[in-house]
Amino acid sequence: MVVSSRRIPVRHSETQRSVQIVTRRQIAESAARDLASVLATVRSVDIRHRGTFGMQSDLGIRGGTFDQSLVLLNGINVTDPQTGHHNLNLPVDLMSIERIEVLHGPAARIFGPNAFSGAVNIITSEPGDSRVNLSLTGGQHRFGHAGASAGFRSGPVSNHVSLSGMASDGYIENTDFRTGNLFYHSRVGWEAGRLDLQAGYQEKAFGANSFYTPRFPDQYEHTRTGFLSLRWLPEGRLRLTPAVYWRRHHDRFELFRHEAPDWYAGHNYHRTDIAGLTVNWAHSSTFGIFSAGIDLRHEYILSNVLGRPLSSPRPVPSRLAGNGAEYTHSYSRTGMSFMAEHTVTIGSVSLSGGALLFSSTDLDTPVTLFPGVDAAWQLTGALRWYATVNRTLRLPTFTDLFYSGPDNLGNPELQPEEAVSLETGFKLQGNTWHADIAVFQRRGVNMIDWVRRPDEDIWRSENLTKVNVTGFEAGFTFALAQTTLSAQYTYLHSGKQSGEFLSNYALDHLTHKIDLTLSLPLRLPLPLLRQGGFRTNLTWQDRSGGYLHYEENAFTGIRPFEPFWMADARIFFDNGPSRVFAEASNLWNARYVDIGNVPQPGRWVRAGMEIRF
């Protein structure tokens, strides 16, 4: 399998980094209904749910915050500059995903800034893959999901299109939701190369019970995401790959969904645009493989809260507001990244070194250098050792810089986060199994977090002096035919404690995480249920830090996060092109929170049918 852990794709077995792959089969057999729930089963990945079924979920990797992970769709950077809360707002249903690549650790010299603690690359089905998928699911709390996808060819043009929708009344008050996705991927082939087009649209509307503050639980959010990219994939020896991309995100946030007090100034409206041009080049010779890339990225926001005041307000479109709201603030920044890397293999030893040169209108220094080195040694045919040292950075989000609300105050003077990460580990590959182990440390300076001091009632966005995260991870997977057993463990420790202040994100990482997965084939002597399978995932999480606990909108004190076990399961049976299934999330009905004061749902049972032909 080819993965994107370097500037050019390489075989998974040849990587010099820790990369975990989630395959189409694993996705199809899991009880997950959304991307975030799939990622939650990956080692060292911390998914902190606010809403259910992907309405809003924060992605963290190796103790990083939700703003420190880069998200790509088929290699195109779709990370949201307003806030990492929106990074997983992607217009792709699970039925269209071929695989997910999770790169653990910094990747600035590969993907540019903001790949601070790791990166996730979602790879969709190949255009023209002649498959039609239909899916229908129903469940508790009036849950419903319907989706369809198809691949087809017309001469030199290959296409893939998917459409899906999902809704529920919610598991407690003000947790209802509805969402829809439309995604199109096309590829036109010529002798010289292929032109790759992808476009998508997503809309979400959901009750946001206590999402951002427990003082006002009747919150509501409505987001719209549009995305378009065009990329040239050349054939032959000249591997020059240019791409252009654009993403627009609308966010309407209501602190009060229904009746609002007199002091309430109105809803928040944000429109964020990203436009980018990227060019990658690679050349192979007897001296190794040299690759380089340039990325020009412009980020812009219109808002009535974030940014600097406009000289004259601009109306919010009536379809988004309906009440004469205006954009009164704006902000923009442009960044240019130049990335270069050279890889050489001598016998059983592989070395890769490179750097990111980064310039931004947000920075005082004209150009900043972020180098890195990876090494690997194939000790035997089955055993591989690797080590990496990389320097990385993350720019503050627009929310970090400018957000001001009843409980929060941004800081326009924030500096970028920077870190040096060190890692070493072993990978062992057998015929039917593989195992790996790694130790790592991320030494961060100017780390950004929302903090609250004992004598204050407001959360402030600040640069913390230093936060060092040290970790250990190990995994073992056995796979034979349709039977799979996987055990994964992660341990994290942060060197900065929150004794003098309460941390909202940076220090509330997972300390321990265990993921156990079992997948088995099933055979029954029944005409329609003769062949099938069973898959279950068991997770244990123990999180550091605590949160401000509220009862009936009244503060009762600081409460530590409680560890918990949780299990998901799915059983399915195939009959020709059709599959019937039943699944349950939180099978044991565990009571837990990922974000303080946002209780997660208990057992949620669903069932449905899929047709593939």
| Nearest in space to 281 (alpha carbons), one of 7, 76, 556, 3 | 7
Judging by DSSP bridges, how do beta strands 118-124 and 69-73 pair with one another? parallel
The residues, any chain, with a CB within 8 Å of residue 322's CB and separated by 6 or more, are none
DSSP 94: G
For residue 460, pLDDT beyond 90: no
pLDDT at 11: 61
Residue 4, pLDDT score: 58
Q: How far is CA 389 from CA 61, 318, 475, 494, in A?
A: 17, 51, 22, 19
Q: Which two tokens stand for residue 42?
A: 């990956």
Taking Cα atoms as reference points, which of 70, 52, 53 lies closest to residue 61? 70
- Looking at residues 344-350, what average pLDDT do you find? 94
Does the structure show a pLDDT above 70 at 197?
yes
Closest CA to 417 of 106, 208, 173, 131: 106
Which of the four pLDDT bands, split at 50, 70 and 90, describes residue 64?
very high
39 within 8 A of 31, measured Cβ to Cβ: no
Q: Where do we find the tokens 């409460």? A: 559
Residue 285: pLDDT band with limits 50, 70, 90: confident
pLDDT greater than 70 at residue 68: yes
What are the DSSP calls for 541-609, one per residue?
Answer: EEE-SEEEEEETTEEEEEEEPPPEEEEEEEEEEEETTEEEEEEEESTT----BSSTT-BPP--EEEEEE
**What is the per-residue pLDDT for 523?**
87
pLDDT confidence bin for 596, thresholds 50/70/90: confident
Residue with tokens 């997977």: 477
DSSP, residue by residue, 346-388: ETTEEEEEEEEEEEETT-SSS-EEEEEEEEEEE-SSSEEEEEE
pLDDT given for residue 363 in this prediction? 87
Distance CA(383)–CA(379), nearest Å, equals 6
Per the structure block, which two tokens stand in for 324?
């004469």
Instruction: Encode pLDDT of 21-59 as tens digits.
Output: 999 999 999 999 999 999 999 999 999 999 899 999 999
- One-letter identity of residue 526: L
Distance of CA 263 to the CA centre of its chain: 36
Q: Of 522, 497, 520, whose CA–CA distance to 508 is shortest? A: 497
Contacts of range 354-358, beta carbons closer than 8 Å, 24 or more positions apart:
354/7, 354/109, 355/109, 356/108, 356/109, 356/112, 356/113, 358/108, 358/112, 358/113, 358/393
pLDDT at 14: 60
pLDDT in tens, 205-260: 999 998 888 888 999 999 999 999 999 998 877 789 999 999 999 999 999 999 89
CA dist., res. 151 & res. 98, Å (int): 13
pLDDT value at 380 more than 70:
yes
Lowest mean pLDDT among 108-122, 324-338, 346-360, 499-513: 499-513
494-514 residue pLDDT tens: 886 545 666 666 678 899 999
Please check the confidence at residue 318 and state whether its pLDDT lies above 70: yes
Read off the CATH number of the domain in which 385 is found.
2.40.170.20
Q: Which is higher by pLDDT, 398 or 2?
A: 398
Across 416-437, average pLDDT: 96
User: Each residue of 384-411: pLDDT tens digit?
Assistant: 999 999 999 999 999 999 988 777 888 9
Per residue in 536-573, pLDDT (tens digit) is 999 999 999 888 788 877 778 888 999 999 999 999 99
The string of pLDDT tens digits covering residues 112-158 is 889 999 999 999 998 877 789 999 999 999 999 999 999 999 889 99
Collapsed DSSP state (helix, strand, coil) of residue 61: strand
Give residue 490's domain range. 2-612
- Chain centre to alpha carbon of residue 423: 22
Could you give the CA distance from residue 537 to residue 487 in angstroms, rounded to a whole number? 10
Return the pLDDT at 500.
Answer: 61
Does residue 6 have a pLDDT over 70? no
**3-class SS at 506?**
coil
Query: What integer pLDDT is reported at residue 12 of this predicted model?
Result: 59
CA 285 to chain centroid: 36
Residues paired with residue 99 on neighbouring β-strands, in sequence order: 23, 123
How many folded domains does the chain comprise? 1
